């Protein structure tokens, strides 16, 4: 019998209880012993539940319970989650979490603590919800050097973009619909500004390349400025707009990492990942491209990933799983300005569209014009190859000098 | 230091050596000890290789070497692979294989033998080449009841169908191209008749539902009868033709399992899996649909999956991985005739196309007409819902009575 405690009884926490209760027989078979929920920590009251006797408001009661060998942290947020998880790992308890904010901010520290105390710290559910991704990267692809990862890592923004692409809804309307359907929070900034996707690509980058990348090191753009005109230009280019988190190992030992809306070609496996689904492309030197697709969030998908980690913990109480990365190295992240990228550029001139394009050509050199349906007088869209952000800004300033307004620019994805 | 032997130095075997040699440092780190190739069994001579001193033609030399704890079987075919693998498991050696024919025919027996002797028998590379699928199904999805699996499991036929769909090549021409590119064997029957896909869905079915399904129990259709007219009808229907292997748990405790070319909707994640790529959809009660995509064959992808299993074996020399299924139960596979399916039906009448369709409607009842580009005089295509194969054949016979020829029928995929 393995006794566990659950910190938090929100969407994921209650889902963990549900999965453990509804799959009891098969889980016992797979873990090779029954898993009992000993205690659930939550400050709220849940009087009507069949297991309401398990609740406590006192974390110390869990920390000091010698029977509890595994603690599931599904509270979310950095504090008190971090203090609680740290205390558990310092007191001989393995930890399973779905908390991406915690892993992205404190992963290296907590993994080192787990290693020191011969405990497990597992977080399959922190990226991709019910999609197995942490374990495949760390195990299945062990005989393979991962060179690049690119993914649609946030279901809320993918839902909004899908509505903009398929139904020509404006960003604000699509966001409101996502809120009404419960896909977006009342304060949607962590999703639409890219912070959530940023935490996830940090976790994947840290895992794949062995050095922690912190969210504040990552150039992050959200989707709030994306317009239906951009969507139409993406279509003219032969693709769709997706919010992509990506990381690539560079030859200089650093990584190029960013989160931004990008034009993704219709030929790409990522272009067909729609609605609230996530898709993660892992490029390896031996395997080539492997893509994982599924529901990136939601109560039961996320809870099933948490419970799979709990089963793994029960089976490996004395043997640590191999899951580890070093703390960040100075200068490990390549400065964003240096990376040459292809861009779509959207401008508005004072004369005809042809004149605006000609002025852009004078400044940018070899560019390729895109014409969208319903192009306005003086509006022009074009793509330009291999510019660093610094170079791009110089060119854009020169264009403004000519009286052409820069309406926006979007990266062209390589994936 | 872990010593391994490799049985077979063909495409996959030489790839295993290459992956072990080129990724030595990272593999040692992940396995926590160096992995040394002690012996390679092959009847051929390989005089020019830097490791030519490792070759032997005598299996007994490997079997009786007490240092060899793990044997990699990458010979393919049933014999002598089965005898060798069995002997290894009887003599204290764990086995890693990429041999789908072996696992599909002898999986239950070899897993039972491995369990009895506390050894590992691993076969990640037997399905999906470099795509992690065996391990995710058995581990990551442990807290989830898998209810259905459907996949594009054979790269050769997918390449041929992609050429037929995208470039309107006839089947024979596309097959010849696949042979010229090395994707198809000189005798392509195992691929184009569906036997290879059948072995793979048997392995996935056995793993997901716990009872061995043997290839001879599975209704299997290949793609040799697929025409460009079928491709055009699929397009008119809103999809593409793919060779699908699928298995579904039924409420009566049996499984519905089949391999056949099917119309797959463009909305499906499987419809975008093109060329030699594989895609596998796993439907679970908690996770919903998860899709795995990548190269299903090839030297390095397959070899990297084999080596990942070897690493796992080295790390678990004393602890068995959970990977097991029972031998087949009588009547476990639902008779193919019983399963109601939706079909596309292609007929040729003696009058106009409209007359042929009207005659079909009299026989089949509620059907839906499809009109392809370039439809010939008297030709008609239509879809019909929820017919068992037995019922379908009765209707088809009645149609022939009316002087309408049945040109073919293709299942409409649910995925």
Q: Is the pLDDT of residue A141 over 90?
A: no
Q: Which of A12, A72, A15 is nearest to A38 (CA)?
A: A72
Peptide bond into B80 cis (omega under 30): yes
Whether B139 and A300 lie within 8 Å, measured CB to CB: no
Work out the minimum CA distance from B115 to partner chain A, whole angstroms.
14
Whether A292 and B292 lie within 8 Å, measured CB to CB: yes
Residue with tokens 């926006």: A408
Query: Which one of the listed residues A200, A242, A248, A321 is annotated catalytic?
Result: A200
Q: What pLDDT is recorded for position B338?
A: 85
CA atoms within 13 A on the CB side of A311: 29
Q: Which of B277, B273, B322 is nearest to B134 (CA)?
A: B322
Whether B290 and A292 lie within 8 Å, measured CB to CB: yes
Q: Name every chain B residue with its beta carbon within 8 A of the beta carbon of A20.
A: 143
Q: Is the pLDDT of residue A171 over 80?
A: yes
Residue with tokens 């003696």: B350
Q: Is the pLDDT of residue A327 over 80?
A: yes
Q: What pLDDT is recorded for position A29?
A: 87
Q: In angstroms, rounded to a whole number, what is the distance separating the alpha carbons of residues A241 and A73?
A: 34
Q: Name every chain B residue with its beta carbon within 8 A of the beta carbon of A26.
A: 142, 145
Q: What pLDDT is recorded for position B317?
A: 74
Q: Name every chain B residue with its beta carbon within 8 A of the beta carbon of A124.
A: 140
Q: What pLDDT is recorded for position A200?
A: 98
Give residue-wise pLDDT tens across range A257-315. Answer: 999 999 999 999 999 999 999 999 999 999 999 999 999 889 999 999 999 999 999 98
Q: What angle do CA B278, B322, A1 make, to 5 degrees?
A: 135
The residue of chain B with its CA nearest to that of A15 is: B286
Work out the minimum CA distance from A385 to partner chain B, whole angstroms.
28
**ipTM tops 0.95:** no
Query: Which one of the listed residues B163, B200, B242, B395 is annotated catalytic?
Result: B200
- Is B350 an annotated catalytic residue? no
Give residue-wise pLDDT tens across range B380-415. Answer: 999 999 999 999 999 999 999 999 999 999 999 999
pLDDT over 70 percentage in chain A: 99
Q: In angstroms, rounded to a whole number, what is the distance separating the alpha carbons of residues B305 and B133?
A: 10
Q: Name every chain B residue with its beta carbon within 8 A of the beta carbon of A122.
A: none
Q: In angstroms, rounded to a whole number, what is the distance separating the alpha carbons of residues A108 and A326?
A: 6
Give chain A's mean pLDDT: 95
Q: In angstroms, rounded to a whole number, what is the distance separating the alpha carbons of residues A120 and A92?
A: 10
Whether A139 and B294 lie within 8 Å, measured CB to CB: no
CB A89 within 8 A of CB A70: no
CB B158 within 8 A of CB B301: no
Q: What pLDDT is recorded for position B316?
A: 80
């Amino acid at each position: 019998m393995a006794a566990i405690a659950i910190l938090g009884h929100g969407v994921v926490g209650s889902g963990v209880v549900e999965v453990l209760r509804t799959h009891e027989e098969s889980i016992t078979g797979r873990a090779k012993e029954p898993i009992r929920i000993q205690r659930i920590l939550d400050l709220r009251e849940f009087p009507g539940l069949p297991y309401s006797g398990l609740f406590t408001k006192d974390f110390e009661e869990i920390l000091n319970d010698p029977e509890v060998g595994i603690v599931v942290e599904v509270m979310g947020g950095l504090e008190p989650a971090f203090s609680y998880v740290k205390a558990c790992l310092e007191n001989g308890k393995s930890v399973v979490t779905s908390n991406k904010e915690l892993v992205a901010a404190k992963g290296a520290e907590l993994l080192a603590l787990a290693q020191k105390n011969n405990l497990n710290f597992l977080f399959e559910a922190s990226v991709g919800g019910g999609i197995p991704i942490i374990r495949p990267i760390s195990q299945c692809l062990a005989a393979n050097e991962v060179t690049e990862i690119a993914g649609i890592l946030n279901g809320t923004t993918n839902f909004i973009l899908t509505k903009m692409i398929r139904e020509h809804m404006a960003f604000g309307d699509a966001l409101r619909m996502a809120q009404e359907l419960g896909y977006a929070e009342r304060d949607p900034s962590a999703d639409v500004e890219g912070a959530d996707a940023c935490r996830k690509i940090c976790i994947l980058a840290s895992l794949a390349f062995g050095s922690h990348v912190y969210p504040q090191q990552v150039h992050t753009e959200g989707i709030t400025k994306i317009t239906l005109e951009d969507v139409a230009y993406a279509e003219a280019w032969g693709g769709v707009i997706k919010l992509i988190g990506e990381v690539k190992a560079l030859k200089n030992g650093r990584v190029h990492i960013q989160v931004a809306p990008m034009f993704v070609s219709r030929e790409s496996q990522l272009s067909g990942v729609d609605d609230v689904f996530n898709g993660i492309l892992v490029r390896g030197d031996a395997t080539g491209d492997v893509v994982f697709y599924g529901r990136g969030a939601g109560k039961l998908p996320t809870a099933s990933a948490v419970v799979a980690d709990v089963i793994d913990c029960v089976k490996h109480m004395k043997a640590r799983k191999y899951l580890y990365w070093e703390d960040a190295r100075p200068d490990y992240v390549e400065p964003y300005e240096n990376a040459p990228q292809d861009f779509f550029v959207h401008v508005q001139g004072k004369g005809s569209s042809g004149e605006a394009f000609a002025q852009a050509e004078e400044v940018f050199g070899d560019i390729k014009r895109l014409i969208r349906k319903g192009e306005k007088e003086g509006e022009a869209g074009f793509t330009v190859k291999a510019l660093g952000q610094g170079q791009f800004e110089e060119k854009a300033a020169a264009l403004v000098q000519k009286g052409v307004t820069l309406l926006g620019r979007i990266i062209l994805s390589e994936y």
